[in-house]
A and B are shown apart, each in its own frame.
Chain A
Amino acid sequence: MIRYLAKLFNALAKRQRSPVKQSSVTKLDSGLTHNLKHIMDELGNGSDVVNRQFLIGRSAPVLAGVIFIDGLVDQEMINDNILQPLLRIELERPVDLDVLEKSFLAVGGLKRVETMETLVEGVLTGDTALLIDGQPSALLLSTKKWEQRGISEPDTEVIVKGARDGFTETLRTNTALLRRRIEHPALRFDTMKIGKKTRTEICVAYIQGVAEDKLVEEVKKRLRRIDTAGILSTESIDQFIDDAPFSPFATVGYTERPDVCAAKLMEGRVAIIVDGTPVVHTVPFLFWESFQSPDDYNFRLFYANTMRWIRYLAFFTSVLLPGVYVALSSYHQELIPTNLLISMAAATEGTPFPAVVEALGMGVVFEILREAGIRLPRPVGQAVSIVGALVIGEATVTAGLVGAPVVIVVALTAIASFLVPSQVESAAFLRVVFTCLAGVFGALGIINGLIFVYIHLASLRSFGVPFLAPVAPIVPADLKDVAVRVPIWMMWTRPKSIDSPDRIRQAMRIRPEVPEEGHDDDRS
């Protein structure tokens, strides 16, 4: 069904896109001034466009020109490797591009172009265009260099043990980070440009033979479908290729860590790297990936497993706790232990609102505080949290506006939700739904709500893979990294649900073995 729809949409998209492809192609003229003028017009005589004309050769000088965009190029390189050799050419006879290319230009990347469009496009990406009077073609010299952020640890995915590098805003840096981790020729980067105006470079990364060909094709198909003016962040790409756009759950994963991305590629997934953002998307994305942190694989087995389960618990807490509190306190008092009930009743004595309103209200207050804490400059943000914690939390309780249990519940919920960063968005939404349902139906509302969410999750697919795999449907082989994290040497197959053509990840019997005691004697 999904495939069919995708195909259908693709066909529609092709029909729409066809006029774009037929846009006129302007061949380069042999007259230099005409060409330069045309290019400058195309670029709108921008103040950042540098147009330098000079003469090549002493005896029969030929007029030549370079065009590049200031700030995108390596000025030094242009001076030393392009302009200097060209200005010192001693040849008598008129030069042609071949000779220049072969003997004089000390530039790594070099491309001969015939059309105006490719030339302009190249200049816009930071190449330098070299045009020579009388030649109907030009040279694009790769001189890209611009100011960029250094490789630093991503703030959003901090880990305790492990690599500290993170993706940056530059596509090339990112691909290089991946290449450094997977030094195999099968690692492929297929690039395409998306966005009529932004012409964002997008790179589909995968390991051939490990990622399913159909999957790669599907990703490219969905990317090609995007026909928009501009892509400014990966997030917008995510929304274009999402399987279930109206679901609270994202079916496309993201990471800022090259080690995570490389691990996903090794599992047979496909990564989408977009120029201009440090966030790399991986597909297919399954629900349980949200609970996997790189630390899980770096820490000792038992600790890592405990933490994994704490994260599951935290997710359920962050979604259900306010709802459960409301259901228990206003519907099922018989389920609360007597002493706890007395404490709760004593604490809520005389509060003006029903529990459901308290829980929803305090939830909103928390969201406001959180948003303020993120948006405000850091020093002010701290002030906000102090005000939030002390004034709002303490004062509302002492003033008798809300009961203390609600404040505890909301605070616990809030903290729990940060344990699973990639599900923060879905949890925030579901929390409200469950609180409302609990307010109307008590436990019945929560259970029916859970069934509803479960059906929804089970019906989702991420690029053809059931979103809830390997739990629904149960894939026993894949539970090794979901129910528990088994030792790395036991994970000898790739996840079955992703259906990689190369199922075997490593040799089966590589359990660490301690040499027999006799060997110790030999050594000593």
Chain B
Amino acid sequence: MKLEKGKIDGRQLMTLMAGFLFGSAVLIYPGQWAGNESWIAIWGGFVEGCILLLVYIALMSRFPGKNFVEIVKEVYGRFLGNLVALFFLAYLFHLGSLVGTNYHDFIKLTMLVQTPSSVILLFNSLVIVYAVRKGIEVIARCSEGMVVLLCVFYVIIFLMSCSQIEWTNFLPFFSAPLAKVLWATQMTGSFPYGEVVAFLMIFPAVNNLKEIQKRSLKALLLATLIFSIGSVQTIGVLGDTARLYVYPGFQSGRLINIANVFTRLEIVIGVNFLLMGFLKMSVLLYTTVLGIAQVFNLKSYKPLVLPVGFLMGLAALINFSTVSENIEFNNLVYPIYVLPFQLIIPLITLVVALVRKLPRNGGDSI
């Protein structure tokens, strides 16, 4: 029994994954904590992401056509498997709500100061619920255009701010202590690269296994390039003041001024974030409800979408009491907190599957 009949092709997987990686990262872009060395952190995170992705794909290729919940059910047996699956799904749900929190914080800080948080999140949840009800095929189809648009926007914004970039801002190289850079690398590795673990639920929608590997790596690379552009722009334009702002990328957009005509372009960066935040939240909501439906052997995940979507919005509302708590959590707790979900569970599952020589009925991988 398949819950999801929708099929996506390789390119759609790529754009969906890239969009997912952009998610909240286009705004709070990875590695900003490392200051001048953020680009090192970004590429370090990329390497980390690639390694994690290879683990996921190794797991996938042992169980072709099965998503993570089905895999753990087979590997650990019914009871334990469901337990692990629920544990994993809780992470996806929490991650979705964290993106929601970022989304809501951004809107509260920059656009709608007085609008109640609950209304913003309700409005946002409505859109996401609608998308998820339409299924993965539609989300993936939407992602294609959106990601192309984002890349175009990004390159244009970068070109426009080129005149403002002070290249001396990047000097001196390698000035930050190694520990800081390593920590920043783990930060980027966990956010956003490691979060592609959610795609363990989506990979089976792609027909071709080879395609998955190739396209996922391409998605990671695309995201890394865009992040690099973003980080060069932010550090180059803002210099030391990059540390000053909650959203340095947004601020660097504000500084663009070409002949007094192309000004106030921060709105474009804002739009990018809202689009990608939507994609990321839809993917996470989709994977969560799909997983829950599989754990409880439901016939369809559709009835779950609305309640779980609103719960996600609610969780986003109560995640943190203040914005600074959120920032602190992202900087200090998150890189460690995600380890079990992004690394340990998939890795152990893979090892157990190897030891138990699963799947039994001739693992004819494609």
Listed in ascending order, the chain A residues whose CB lies under 8 Å from chain B are 1, 331-332, 334-335, 337, 441-445, 447-448, 451-452, 454-456, 458-459, 466, 468, 471-474
Given the complex, which residues of B lie within 8 Å of A447, measured CB to CB?
Answer: 271, 274-275
Q: Is B112 an interface residue (CB 8 A)?
A: yes
Q: A443-B111, A447-B275, A448-B274 are in contact. Are A455 and B267 (CB under 8 A)?
A: no
Interface residues of B in 318-355 (CB under 8 A from A): none
Give the Cβ gap from A145 to chain B, nearest Cβ, in Å. 52
Given the complex, which residues of B lie within 8 Å of A331, measured CB to CB?
Answer: 111-112
Give the Cβ gap from A156 to chain B, nearest Cβ, in Å. 31
A335→B139 CA distance, assembly (Å): 31
Interface stretch, picked from B60-68, B140-148, B222-230, is: B140-148
A448→B281 CA distance, assembly (Å): 13
Q: Which of B120, B127, B148 contacts A452 (CB 8 A)?
A: B127
> Helix, strand, loop or mixed for chain B's interface?
helix
| Binary per-residue interface labels of chain B (38-49) against chain A in the complex, 1 for a CB within 8 Å, 0 otherwise | 000000000000
When the two chains form their complex, are residues A474 and B267 in contact, meaning their CB atoms are under 8 A apart? no
| Binary per-residue interface labels of chain B (106-148) against chain A in the complex, 1 for a CB within 8 Å, 0 otherwise | 0100011001000010011001001100110011111011101
Give the Cβ gap from B112 to chain A, nearest Cβ, in Å. 7
Known: A441-B123, A452-B127, A474-B11. 20 other contacts (CB 8 A): A331-B111, A335-B264, A335-B267, A443-B111, A444-B123, A447-B271, A448-B124, A448-B278, A451-B127, A451-B131, A454-B146, A455-B130, A455-B142, A456-B130, A458-B134, A468-B141, A472-B141, A473-B140, A474-B144, A474-B145
A473→B11 CA distance, assembly (Å): 9
A-B contacts, 10 of them at CB < 8 A, read A1-B5, A337-B263, A448-B124, A452-B130, A454-B142, A455-B131, A455-B139, A472-B144, A474-B11, A474-B144
Given the complex, which residues of A lie within 8 Å of B274, measured CB to CB?
Answer: 444, 447-448, 451
Query: Which 10 A/B pairs are nearest by Cβ-Cβ distance?
Result: A459-B134, A472-B141, A459-B138, A458-B141, A455-B131, A447-B274, A474-B144, A335-B264, A473-B141, A458-B142
Given the complex, which residues of B lie within 8 Å of A458, measured CB to CB?
Answer: 134, 138, 141-142
Give the Cβ gap from A385 to chain B, nearest Cβ, in Å. 36
Q: Is B12 an interface residue (CB 8 A)?
A: yes
Which of A331, A337, A454, A468 has its CB near the most chain B CB atoms (within 10 A)? A454
A443→B120 CA distance, assembly (Å): 12
> Helix, strand, loop or mixed for chain A's interface?
helix
Q: Is B270 an interface residue (CB 8 A)?
A: yes
Given the complex, which residues of A lie within 8 Å of B124, measured CB to CB?
Answer: 448
A448→B141 CA distance, assembly (Å): 17
Give the Cβ gap from B23 to chain A, nearest Cβ, in Å. 14
A455→B279 CA distance, assembly (Å): 11
A458→B124 CA distance, assembly (Å): 19
A261→B144 CA distance, assembly (Å): 31
Total count of chain B residues near the partner, CB < 8 A = 34
Give the Cβ gap from B159 to chain A, nearest Cβ, in Å. 21
Given the complex, which residues of B lie within 8 Å of A471, measured CB to CB?
Answer: 144-145
Given the complex, which residues of B lie within 8 Å of A1, measured CB to CB?
Answer: 5
Which residue on chain B has the smallest CB distance to residue A447?
Answer: B274
Given the complex, which residues of B lie within 8 Å of A445, measured CB to CB?
Answer: 123
A331→B111 CA distance, assembly (Å): 8
| Binary per-residue interface labels of chain B (269-297) against chain A in the complex, 1 for a CB within 8 Å, 0 otherwise | 01100110010000000000000000000
When the two chains form their complex, are residues B278 and A451 in contact, meaning their CB atoms are under 8 A apart? yes
When the two chains form their complex, are residues B134 and A455 in contact, meaning their CB atoms are under 8 A apart? yes
Given the complex, which residues of B lie within 8 Å of A468, measured CB to CB?
Answer: 141
When the two chains form their complex, are residues A332 and B131 in contact, meaning their CB atoms are under 8 A apart? no
Q: Is B211 an interface residue (CB 8 A)?
A: no
Which residue on chain B has the smallest CB distance to residue A452?
Answer: B127
Given the complex, which residues of B lie within 8 Å of A442, measured CB to CB?
Answer: 111-112
A414→B91 CA distance, assembly (Å): 49
When the two chains form their complex, are residues B112 and A444 in contact, meaning their CB atoms are under 8 A apart? yes
Given the complex, which residues of B lie within 8 Å of A455, measured CB to CB?
Answer: 127, 130-131, 134, 138-139, 142
Q: Which of A443, A456, A466 contacts B267 (CB 8 A)?
A: A443
Which of B120, B131, B139 has its CB near the most chain A CB atoms (within 10 A)? B131
| Binary per-residue interface labels of chain B (250-276) against chain A in the complex, 1 for a CB within 8 Å, 0 otherwise | 000000000010011001001100110
A468→B144 CA distance, assembly (Å): 12
Give the Cβ gap from B352 to chain A, nearest Cβ, in Å. 37
A322→B347 CA distance, assembly (Å): 53
A447→B140 CA distance, assembly (Å): 18
Given the complex, which residues of B lie within 8 Å of A444, measured CB to CB?
Answer: 107, 111-112, 120, 123, 274
Which residue on chain A has the smallest CB distance to residue B279?
Answer: A451
Q: Is B74 an interface residue (CB 8 A)?
A: no
